[in-house]
Amino acid sequence: MSSKTSDEPPKKKSKVVQPSDFVKKESGTTGSGSSDFAKSLEKHRKSTADSITDFKFNKKRAKVLSKAQEFPEWGKGVIYWMFRDERVHDNWALLFAQKLALKNKVPLHVCFCRLQKFL
């Protein structure tokens, strides 16, 4: 049994990625810091899929706002409206938009919306 006296809920674990999550260091050595981290992230990404077009994407992770089933012939690009998920890492909707743009050989435009109260 726990001797916890507080009625506070357990603290949420951080989901922040740390360099140590990807860089394996031998004991007693120091790495070259950010370049090792960047290289390890690139290696990890490439081991997932060669390209976003090859990635097995779960469409349930994104909300498609258009009722169109196919990309129109007159379409000149894909726009991703970034409002709530203000990040590029671990952003499934942005990855879906990128995959759609690459598949149709059109540019991807990201529209970033920031509320006035956050300026």
Question: Which tens digits make up the pLDDT trace of 20-49?
Answer: 555 555 544 455 667 788 888 778 777 777
Q: What is the pLDDT of residue 109?
A: 93
Q: What is the pLDDT of residue 29?
A: 47
Verify that 63 and 89 share a domain, yes or no. yes
Residues 42/49, Cβ–Cβ less than 8 Å: no
Alpha-carbon distances of 91 from 11, 65, 97, 101, 115, rounded to whole Å? 24, 16, 10, 16, 20
Verify that 44 and 65 share a domain, yes or no. no
What domain range includes position 31? 18-48
Which of residues 29, 48, 67 is at a domain's end?
Answer: 48
Alpha-carbon distances of 94 from 81, 91, 116, rounded to whole Å? 9, 5, 23
Residue 5 lies in a domain: no
Numbers of helices and strands, H then E, in the chain? 2, 2
Q: What is the pLDDT of residue 25?
A: 53
Residue 10 lies in a domain: no
Residue 12 lies in a domain: no
Verify that 38 and 80 share a domain, yes or no. no
Total number of domains constituting the chain? 2
Report the predicted TM-score, pTM, of the whole model to 2 decimal places: 0.54
In this prediction, the residues of the chain whose per-residue pLDDT falls under 50 are 27-29
φ/ψ of 69, rounded to 5, equals -90, -25
Verify that 60 and 118 share a domain, yes or no. yes
